[in-house]
Structure 1
């Protein structure tokens, strides 16, 4: 697992998108499980907070679209 430091103005979603190129519910849930102490901070993290990033696939699996003609 990789650790990164927050930049002033970071939110969890912004950090996930910058570092993992995804910010969906699965990635966010994995990050919160690894970093429960982040809940002590406001919605915008202060600079210098160490965050452990989850190991997730680079892109989320999107469901197959359903067509009315299938």
Structure 2
């Protein structure tokens, strides 16, 4: 597991995207499980908060196509 520090104005989604190039529900859930104290910081994190990043399986970043005619 890798440890990082937040930048002023970070949100959990922004931090996940910047560090892991993912901000989906499973990545966010894994981060909250590793960092339960993070909720005390509020939706916008102050600078310098230590965060443990989850180790996630790599996923295809290709979006799924949705058709109105399916």
Q: How many residues align?
A: 68
Counterparts of 1:21 and 1:61, CA distance in 2: 9
CA deviations on 1:13-33 (whole Å, 9 max, x unpaired) are: 000000000000000000000
**Alpha carbon RMSD of aligned pairs, Å?**
2.2
CA contact (8 A) 1:6 1:48 kept: yes
For normalisation by structure 2, the TM-score amounts to 0.84
The gaps in structure 1 that reach 5 residues or longer are none
Q: Are 1:42 and 2:42 counterparts?
A: yes
Deviation at 1:45, TM superposition (A): 0.2
Give the 4+ runs in structure 1 shifted more than 3 A: 64-68
For normalisation by structure 1, the TM-score amounts to 0.84
